[in-house]
Chains A and B, each alone.
Chain A
Amino acid sequence: EPEVTQTPSHQVTQMGQEVILRCVPISNHLYFYWYRQILGQKVEFLVSFYNNEISEKSEIFDDQFSVERPDGSNFTLKIRSTKLEDSAMYFCASSPFGLAGGAQYFGPGTRLTVL
């Protein structure tokens, strides 16, 4: 069964450093998402992406964050200058449909630790 994959599984970085989290969505899906889950808290939406542009973003997704689909398979989340409060599990998800309401399928996550 096709699945969303994410690399790395765990990333440790120093405050102020840039990190890039990578995701390979399910191959025939058209809509891509990033969510995060701070330890002990709810899963929170960050951004959705369709047709090579951001379709929706949350208040969390400020200028420090960016997303890109550099080729036909990868989808990346970049955090330009990490802060301690960026420490969280970051989930990538993909969906065959967006506004039509298809279910979103999640990857295993990248645990980001900012020291």
Chain B
Amino acid sequence: EDKVVQSPLSLVVHEGDTVTLNCSYEVTNFRSLLWYKQEKKAPTFLFMLTSSGIEKKSGRLSSILDKKELFSILNITATQTGDSAIYLCAAVETSGSRLTFGEGTQLTVNP
């Protein structure tokens, strides 16, 4: 059974801090890993990573995938209170389209 594990489950930081969120996966026939930000309701797409070692970046957020060690990290630099959310990672196989989600990391950024 496919499995995605995120750590930490909860993180509280101050504005301006840099955070690293972790996601490990055990997926048969892995194809891609996706990161989402979930605020009040809908998960909002951040990144999709398919190739190992290539960093994807969007503003203060960046992410990288290590297919040898089966994990990904999401970095957020100079955090702001608006970054407070649950960050979800999800993996998808080559043979299907279902996303298998991790538990999420609840990030709280205090002013």
Contact = CB atoms under 8 A, between A and B. Distances in A.
A45 B43 contact: no
A101 B92 contact: yes
Contacts of A98: 97
Contact of A56 (B41, B94, B97): B97
Given A43-B88, A108-B41, A101 B32 contact: yes
Given A89-B41, A91-B43, A99 B101 contact: no
Interface of B: 31-32, 34, 36, 41-45, 48, 50, 88, 90, 92, 94-104
Contact of A55 (B31, B36, B97, B99): B97
Interface in A80-115: 89, 91, 95, 98-99, 101, 103-109
Interface residues of A, number: 25
A20 to B, nearest CB: 20
Nearest to B101: A43
A44 B41 contact: no
Interface of A: 4, 31, 33, 35, 42-45, 48, 55-56, 58, 89, 91, 95, 98-99, 101, 103-109
Contacts of B96: 48, 56, 99
Nearest to A97: B97
B42 A108 contact: yes
